[in-house]
Chain A
Amino acid sequence: MLDFLNQIFPLAIAASIPIMITAIGGLFSERSGVVNIGLEGLMLVGAFTSSITIHYFDQAGNNNEYVVWIAILLAGIVSGLFAILHAYASVSLKANQVISGTAINMLATALTIFFARFLTRSQNISLLNRADRYQKIPILSDIPLIGNWLFTDIYITSFFVLLLCGIAWFIIFKTTHGLRLRSCGEYPQAADSAGINVVKLRYQAVIISGILSGFGGAIYIVTIAGEFNGSVNGFGFLALGALIFGKWKPLNIVFATFFFGFMSTFASLSFVNEVISSFRIPYQFYNALPYVMTLFALVIFSRNASAPMALGEPYDAGKR
């Protein structure tokens, strides 16, 4: 049993990290009052950007550690820029944010494939450079239990993401910037009359959501997928789910995504685990398990979760 848990934890962390950081990105956007169902598309843009970046490094025979980081960084930048489309529609044009998000998803799919074909002649880009995974971390890995669960077989990018989640929590709940951000999502009229530039803040927040989703997409590529293939497998939608499941709170989101990662890892490992597979439960059951468990968890933990009050409402500065 303990062995099984020891095995699940590192894999579950790896599986949840891309969703986690994307959900945190979504958190910024939604805390500022802008619904972002375009997370999937933004992730995809990040996945593509990182892949094409690494692809060029690969071709140049560059195998330095920083390649991956450059790719992640660029992915963030490009996704952040792409998110401006969403910000422009939903903040400046006061558009229906759901439509705009849907458009973002559609455009991302079409454009990334278009450019992948255009640049590499294939929508399938395999990569040589990938994120490093550390089997052991000095001292930390030796801590009983926790050492096995948190500091074994861990990708360096996972630390990066956890750090970002911490920073996100700090910004949103401790800083003046966070206070202002939240006020825009709750009651932008109040923010405005307090001299806060709602439009600017929302732009910032949507762009941050793009950047973090871009990181998410890139990390998906450099840890899990190892190649780009025109999709991020619905991770963006799962991130959206985790955001709601996590009641728009960073810590809860971290747990929500981890819960999901844990369940899906458990499901996948059940195929392989000798004891569990000896029960001969149909594989469809395991495959459905993460989603079913999430539904149950929602019932238990997320009743009456309250979204930011002004979520989805375009802010009309002077109602002009």
Chain B
Amino acid sequence: MENKHKSARERFIHYFSDESNRRKLAPYISILFGLLAGLILMLLIGQDPIKGYINILNGSIFKGLFEGNFRRLGGTLAIATVLTFTGLSVAFAFKTGLFNIGVGGQMLFGGFIVVLLGNVLTLPKPVHLLVIVLAAAIGGALWALVPGILKARYRISEVVTTIMMNYVAMWTVSYFVRRWIPGHYETESSMIKESASLKFELLTDLFSGSAINLSIILAGLVVVFIWYILEKTTFGYELKAVGFNPDASKYAGMKVNRNILYSMIISGAIAGLAGASYYAGYTNHVKLGVVPNFGFDGIAVALLGLNSPFGVVLSALLFGVLRTGGEYLNAMTSIPKELVDIIVGLIIYFAAATLLIQFMLTKLIKKMKKNDEKHIEEKVVE
């Protein structure tokens, strides 16, 4: 009720007097700082930063949009979809106290299963899709099971084991692809069948033939689902409790090891879905000898998204925009591609420095409050 009569300034002070609100703001400020740093860099190398940022936006969203060509937006969304999955995978593990560096490997293995089943099964499209999506989740989960067991049973840090599993995934997939589903060239698998492709004509047409595919809907569902699990279910409650304090969780009768395992499996399953999104929606076959970079990008996405499911979506979108827009920028100007990478790196760095940012806000609020007090005092004196 009272709020109605408050000025914007008062509401600002009121809102940011609360520490948790200040914390929520931090990522936006770090993005701002990162972009600012990018601006300075562009100036330094003698380029027009305004044009630079307009190009980034054009290249990732707007170019053609008003003529009804949604291709660029579609492409950005497609990238953001994969990043949402990998970011969510990392974030989920973080929420439950685990640091999953192995998302790339899990994604690759999930994707391999997708491509395998997309090749060998003959099913009506809806069924085929259902099968491969489930299989992707299972594949990713299987790959995360090893670090999960090692962590739960032997307390071996998942940081090492997931790194190792990335490499193992690369070679395992390489072996089985060449055995079972070799492609025309030795370095890739054969293409999946149409019925297993997540590309959906209506969607593809709507976005003028871009890579956007059904997995964007899946991503939306999974994000909500994970949010729901974490916030609304006893299962999520347990996972978080174990993540924060395994000892107390044990005292409260929770099965700590089992929860670590579940957590790793779910994180892996989400990574597997990233595999489905990428390999059945984007590439339609597997390339050998590489672990997808999306895993490492996922770490950054998760961290910038404060490990919250919806935060991950936002930061995945930002990353999508910067990545696709960055290339356009590179094409349109002589601003090098590395500049965008530097900006992204800086954003993450500033995100780490949230405390500084919060500290500055705190000071600002204090100052504003003090000013207000003085103001009031003066009035009283009058």
Contacts and interface: CB of A to CB of B under 8 A. Distances in A.
Q: Decide if A and B touch, CB cutoff 8 A.
A: yes
Contacts of A287: 167, 171, 174
A292 interface: yes
Interface string A64-100: 0000000000000000000001000110011111111
A99 B347 CA distance: 10
Interface of A is mostly: helix
A299 interface: yes
B164 A295 contact: yes
B303 A98 contact: yes
Given A117-B336, A240-B163, A107 B345 contact: yes
A85 B167 CA distance: 29
Contact of B150 (A37, A89, A288, A295): A295
Contact of A288 (B155, B171, B355): B171
B163 A238 contact: yes
A304 B155 contact: yes
Interface residues of B, number: 41
A109 interface: yes
B303 A294 contact: no
A303 B164 contact: no
B171 to A, nearest CB: 4
A12 B214 CA distance: 48
B156 A302 contact: yes
B156 A298 contact: yes
A244 to B, nearest CB: 5
A114 B171 contact: no
Interface in A222-259: 237-238, 240-241, 244-245
A90 B351 CA distance: 12
Interface in B146-186: 146, 150, 154-157, 159-161, 163-165, 167-168, 170-172, 174-175
B349 A89 contact: yes
Nearest to B160: A241
Nearest to A109: B341
A295 B147 CA distance: 9
Contact of A103 (B159, B163, B349, B354): B349
A4 interface: no
Given A94-B355, A95-B355, A298-B160, A103 B345 contact: yes
Contacts of B355: 93-95
A288 B300 contact: no
| Range of interface residues on A (Cβ < 8 Å) | 35 or more
B154 A85 contact: no
Contacts of A89: 349, 352-353
A110 B338 contact: yes
B364 to A, nearest CB: 17
B348 A103 contact: yes
A282 B154 contact: no
A240 B154 contact: no
Interface in A275-320: 282, 284-285, 287-288, 290-292, 294-295, 298-299, 302-305, 307
B354 A106 contact: no
A198 interface: no
B342 A110 contact: yes
Given A95-B352, A109-B341, A304 B154 contact: yes
A284 B174 contact: yes
Interface string B345-370: 11011011111100000000000000
B339 interface: yes
A96 B99 CA distance: 13
A95 B353 contact: yes
B159 A95 contact: no
Contacts of A93: 352-353, 355-356
B344 interface: yes
B14 to A, nearest CB: 24
B338 to A, nearest CB: 4
B342 A295 contact: no
A268 interface: no
A241 B341 contact: no
Task: Find the residue from B150, B154, B156 having the highest chain A CB count within 10 A.
Answer: B156
Contact of A114 (B167, B170, B339): B339
Contacts of B160: 240-241, 244-245, 294, 298
A237 B339 CA distance: 24
Contacts of A96: 303, 352, 354
Contact of B157 (A98, A285, A288, A305): A305
A102 interface: yes
B168 A292 contact: yes
B299 interface: yes
A20 interface: no
Nearest to B350: A103
Interface in B199-256: none
Contacts of B168: 288, 291-292, 295
B213 to A, nearest CB: 28
A103 B150 contact: no
B348 A102 contact: yes
A107 B164 CA distance: 24
Contacts of B342: 107, 110-111, 114
B159 A241 contact: yes
A280 to B, nearest CB: 13
Contact of A303 (B156, B174, B351): B156
A307 B338 CA distance: 36
**Lowest 6 A-B CB distances belong to which pairs?**
A110-B341, A106-B345, A103-B349, A107-B345, A288-B171, A99-B352
16 contacts: A95-B354, A96-B354, A100-B349, A103-B348, A103-B349, A106-B300, A110-B345, A240-B159, A241-B164, A288-B168, A292-B164, A294-B164, A295-B150, A302-B156, A303-B154, A305-B157
Given A106-B345, A284-B175, 7 more contacts: A99-B351, A103-B345, A109-B345, A111-B338, A111-B345, A237-B163, A295-B161
Interface of B: 99, 101, 146, 150, 154-157, 159-161, 163-165, 167-168, 170-172, 174-175, 296, 299-300, 303, 336, 338-339, 341-342, 344-346, 348-349, 351-356
